[in-house]
Amino acid sequence: MSDAQRTLAKEVFLNGTGLHTGEAVSVRVVPAPADAGIVFVRTDLPHRPTIPARAGQMVDVSKSVRRTTLCRDGVEIQTIEHFMAAMWGAGLDNAYVEMTASEMPGLDGSAIGFLRQLQQAGTMEQQSPRRYFSLREPVSVEEGDSAIVVFPDKEFRISYLLSYPHPKLRSQFVTFQQSGGATFEEAIAPARTFCMKEEAEALRTAGFGKGATFENTLVWDAQGVMNNTLRFEDECARHKVLDLIGDLNLLGEHLRAHVIAIKSGHPLNVKLVKKLTQTSEQWRLGSLQSATAEVMVGPQLDITQIEKILPHRYPFLLVDRVTELTETRAVGLKCVTSNEYFFRGHFPGKPVMPGVLMIEAMAQLGGIIMLNKSEHKGKIAYFMAVDKVKFRKPVVPGDVLVLEAELGKVRSRIGQVLARALVDGKVVCEGELMFALSE
């Protein structure tokens, strides 16, 4: 398969009942143009409202128990994770998903029914390149004794550890990778949703699980699975991987990373997807779009990209490259050459970089951190004060200044940055800088 985006070759029709609402629903999945993404359409409501399958539409899990729900302008689409996993497994990037109710059909509680229908329809290659989401540094989320860590990788892999305080459902470990080994269809898609017997009773009491049956949900009591037979010995862990794949598909881009999850569920999945999305938005807000359409977390900025954040220009732009950038920290480089304009009049017989320009270089890097935050988009960061400055050694032509800046206290329109400059690993200048943000 080429690296182009893909949509359906023909329409897909599905019917069923929502696991939680118990409502009958008909689904029609139709081809969509390149770059449209996966878009849900509520055909049962006036004006056919649409909801894109993206992280920004995800509902807080405290308001959507044991399922992933999207919401836009008060209109919801519930329990989409199995379908989204199937779309990923079928290699589909773009589709319109028309629904006659608020919840996707539960089918048999897994993704296999969705996947086989999509595979039967076939796929069609489109002109636009597929978009990928890659990392240059790990990203993690945790809550209680659950955690997910995402490491940079050249392909997509998931390792999942499940552990329940249950005599028949103890530790299970599953690893799945996109290339090599068992396919998604074989290893993950058939795994069904599950819950403990007491959880099922509590959900029913709370008004959920109206469409759940012993056929579409593995219910565990003290003796094991009730009125059903496992498809895999570790089917529950495999289903957790299925859910995670479906939730990660809400990134809108194909993730290239190794995901290691410990006892995670939808609440932590949602937290992870939102964190990954916020980090990628940080890249885009500075107009830092990769020429390969691949979003990089932990971006490096060249001079052209720096100029899209800072208003400074030659000869007063004193940061040549940013090698690390997060919401709170940045590392940059300033190559000091004999052609610098200031050497003409500052000790021309024995050129030394003025200390105030070292401070200015650190301040410009600090400004990049301030202006790269989404809430500061379009503002200007004015350098307004400096404190505790120390000059350790002179900087001369041929030196490479390694600038380090870390965001300190930020209050309303005032921000503090702790900065230092190094040459050959030794500090040459350091200080505390203050900025005022203005429209």
> Which residues are tagged catalytic?
266, 346
Which position has the token pair 């505790």?
A: 388
Q: How far apart are CA 381 and CA 374, in angstroms?
A: 14
- Write the DSSP symbol of residue 101: S
Residues 6 or more apart in contact with residue 233 via CB below 8 angstroms: none
Q: How far apart are CA 226 and CA 194, in angstroms?
A: 11
Residues 6 or more apart in contact with residue 47 via CB below 8 angstroms: none
Report the alpha-carbon angle 325-330-333, nearest 5: 105
Q: How far apart are CA 109 and CA 97, in angstroms?
A: 19
Which position has the token pair 């598909």?
A: 249
Q: How far apart are CA 42 and CA 57, in angstroms?
A: 15
Which position has the token pair 């980090």?
A: 279
**Peptide bond just before 315 cis, omega within 30 deg:** yes
